[in-house]
A and B are shown apart, each in its own frame.
Chain A
Amino acid sequence: MRLLALALHRLLWFVPTLLGLLVVTFVISRVIPADPVALVAGETATPAQVEELRRQLGYDRALPVQFGEYAWRLVRGDMGTSIFTRRPIVEDLAHRLPATIELTVVAMVVSVLVGIPLGVFSALWRNSVLDHALRVVTVSGLAIASFWLGIMLQLLFAMRLGWTPLNGRLQGFPPSPITGFYLVDAALTADWRTLGAALTHLALPAATLAFPALATLVRFTRAGVLDVMQSNFVLYQRAMGLPRTLIVWKYMLRSALTSTVTQIGLLFGILLAGAVVTEAVFDWPGIGTYAVNSILRSDYNAVMGFTVWAGAVFIVVNLLVDVAQTLVDPRERPSN
């Protein structure tokens, strides 16, 4: 009951943060520009057209009134219409969501499956060759520009070696849509050739996205395991003669991973919301590419729609991480 109350309390916190996000995007789109209507109307509009549009959009009213309308429309899921695609921005985003989720989930799974064991070994064999090599990986992962890494991977694996496709999500027809995720749909319809093709298309963008996440996970797992190794309960288990593999992979890992699990949640939010440049490099038909194309076309509403979307996703993921952390870690629970 107490936990439920706490979860609800965190949930209440979510509303003002989201409102704050709307204030920020409102200020960016309506208050900072000298004439926001001229931005929306584009360079070819005549002054009369701009004035007409100003009245139509309600930009001639007082700012608080405008904000009220802006927030109300967003709450109802109306982000306006894209100047380029001529479709509601919400529809555009929803249409591209499966591609972004598929890429993010694959990248996240790869970095967790590779990063956590590497972090554990790095801690167990501290100062070994592996530990030093992994230190190079973690330092590089946080210093490399992901768009450049993506381009270099394309150069090597797609252009020079020809092992993977250069970009895109799939050539030819997608599998019959059931969930919208190509991997799942192809597996469900037993279309193994499409599954293989989808996987080769995923390889490079997923690797690009996974690399910085992997670096972070190795770092946190290593620190967590090193911390736990010194603790009394591990000493006790050792003294009791428990097998080393059991101590390490069952008992130590469980308590070492608390901070890593938080990181997984945060990274997932960052990747989902911010895979902008990586998607653009690989022409991945997700939300990030949509954002970049909108920037290039000065499709102003679409860029703001993307910002609201990305901010909202990030806030929701953070909230879920917070609640999960409270549920999992007894130390986070409110005491009596």
Chain B
Amino acid sequence: MSAAWFVVRRLTRDRSALLGLLLIAALVLAALLAPVLATHPDDVFELHPAERLRPPGGPHWLGTDRMGADVYSRLLFGARITILIGVIAVGASLLVGVPIGLVAGYHHGWLSDALMRVSDVFLAVPQVVLAIAIAQTLGPSLPNVILALSATYWPWFARVVYAETRSLQKEVFVESTAALGASPWRLTVLHVLPNIASPIIVRASIGMGFTILTAAALGFLGLGPPPPTPEWGRTIAESREFLPDAWWYAAAPGVAIFLTVMGFNLLGDGLRDVLDPRLRRGRGAR
């Protein structure tokens, strides 16, 4: 707990990391309190044809969309989907990638080679392309988007954990723990894993931003959760036929995506500085 508190205190001293934290806090609040904060909470599913495409102002302070729904309220509920996609996809990638990286890093032999080759193949294709292929095969839905994103992001964790585990093996504490007779299982989980937590956390934060951006692109291409889900990427796609008049309709979800991804990127950069003193000193010298 005190370690976590230390990290948070250091983060709040760095202006851009603080901005990242605030943006993410705002996103989480928006998602949790969506029914309370929304001015028109029923608009996610209800139609109000008479109120179509109203410009911002009055009761609809971000305007209304093609169904007459309040853009601001739908954005708030969209934040829930964004967080859901990001957290589950990055979580699943962690659950797959970290054990694979640990096993491949700890063992030396054909198994290790095979595991890293498999993750290399996944890294050899742009994530968007592979995610498109998977999502297209499985059909557009929320679980399938999450599956496509997890299936394409886990190799990043495997790669990081593999490299870190390999470099730790030369450390005296690992050698001596092994000499004391600790089983490989105990050694990796209790001794190696806590020591490589920092790069994993940094990668997870950057991965959240990256995954959310890719999810929005899938939604934009029509491969995301189907309507009337207020997914941000899909909302931008829907808004296109009402441009240039209904500019608010296209602008609002894009700004939301931008602020969210920037929040995770800034937090990731800040975490890297705080958690990895070697890199911070390197940066200081520059």
CB within 8 Å of B: which residues of A? 16-17, 20-21, 23-25, 28-29, 32-33, 39, 139-140, 142-149, 151-152, 154-155, 159-160, 223, 226-227, 229-230, 269-270, 273-274, 276-277, 280, 291-292, 295-296, 298, 300, 303-304, 306-307, 310-311, 314-315, 318
CA distance A154 to B285 in the complex (A): 43
Interface hit among B29-37, B38-46, B161-169, B236-244? B236-244
Picked from B16, B121, B129, the residue with its CB within 8 Å of the CB of A20 is B121
Measured between beta carbons, the chain A residues less than 8 angstroms from B133 are 25, 28-29, 303-304, 307
Q: Is the CB of A296 within 8 A of B240?
A: no
Quick check: is B217 within 8 A (CB to CB) of the other chain? yes
Q: Is the CB of B126 within 8 A of A273?
A: yes
Measured between beta carbons, the chain A residues less than 8 angstroms from B233 are 145, 147
Question: Which of B137, B209, B233, B243 has the most chain A CB atoms closer than 10 A to its own CB?
Answer: B137
Q: Is the CB of B217 within 8 A of A144?
A: no
Taken residue by residue from 109 to 127, chain B's Cβ proximity to chain A (1 for < 8 Å, 0 otherwise) reads as: 0000000011011101110
Least CB distance from A215 to B in Å reads: 11
Measured between beta carbons, the chain A residues less than 8 angstroms from B266 are 139
Least CB distance from B146 to A in Å reads: 15
Quick check: is B258 within 8 A (CB to CB) of the other chain? yes
Closest partner residue, chain B, to A151 (CB atom): B250
Q: Is the CB of A307 within 8 A of B236?
A: no
CA distance A147 to B129 in the complex (A): 15
Q: Is the CB of B262 within 8 A of A139?
A: yes
Measured between beta carbons, the chain B residues less than 8 angstroms from A29 are 133, 137
Q: Are A274 and B209 also in contact (CB < 8 A) when A143-B261, A307-B132 are?
A: no
Interface hit among B1-9, B86-94, B220-228? B220-228
Q: Are A230 and B124 also in contact (CB < 8 A) when A39-B137, A292-B221, A307-B129 are?
A: no
CA distance A231 to B194 in the complex (A): 35
Measured between beta carbons, the chain B residues less than 8 angstroms from A306 are 129
CA distance A140 to B247 in the complex (A): 21
Quick check: is B216 within 8 A (CB to CB) of the other chain? yes
Q: Is the CB of B129 within 8 A of A155?
A: no
List 4 tightest A-B contacts by C-beta distance, closest first: A20-B121, A148-B254, A159-B244, A143-B262
Q: Is the CB of A17 within 8 A of B137?
A: no
Q: Are A295 and B132 also in contact (CB < 8 A) when A24-B125, A223-B286 are?
A: yes
Q: Is the CB of B130 within 8 A of A24?
A: yes
Question: Which of B117, B126, B220, B251 has the most chain A CB atoms closer than 10 A to its own CB?
Answer: B126
Least CB distance from A231 to B in Å reads: 11
Measured between beta carbons, the chain A residues less than 8 angstroms from B121 are 17, 20-21, 23-24
CB within 8 Å of A: which residues of B? 16, 117-118, 120-122, 124-126, 128-130, 132-134, 136-138, 209, 213, 216-217, 220-223, 233, 236, 240, 243-244, 247, 250-251, 253-254, 257-258, 261-262, 265-266, 285-286
Measured between beta carbons, the chain B residues less than 8 angstroms from A17 are 120-121, 124
Q: Is the CB of B254 within 8 A of A152?
A: yes
Measured between beta carbons, the chain A residues less than 8 angstroms from B209 are 142-143
Other than A17-B121, A314-B126, give 16 A-B pairs with Cβ distance below 8 A: A24-B125, A32-B134, A139-B16, A145-B213, A147-B236, A151-B236, A155-B243, A270-B126, A277-B221, A295-B132, A295-B222, A303-B133, A307-B130, A310-B125, A311-B124, A311-B129
Least CB distance from A185 to B in Å reads: 29
Closest partner residue, chain B, to A20 (CB atom): B121
Measured between beta carbons, the chain A residues less than 8 angstroms from B223 are 295
Least CB distance from B203 to A in Å reads: 15
CA distance A204 to B221 in the complex (A): 20
Q: Is the CB of A151 within 8 A of B217?
A: no
Q: Is the CB of B251 within 8 A of A152?
A: yes
Q: Is the CB of B236 within 8 A of A148?
A: yes
CA distance A295 to B137 in the complex (A): 10
Picked from B137, B257, B261, the residue with its CB within 8 Å of the CB of A32 is B137
Closest partner residue, chain B, to A23 (CB atom): B121
Q: Is the CB of A20 within 8 A of B243?
A: no
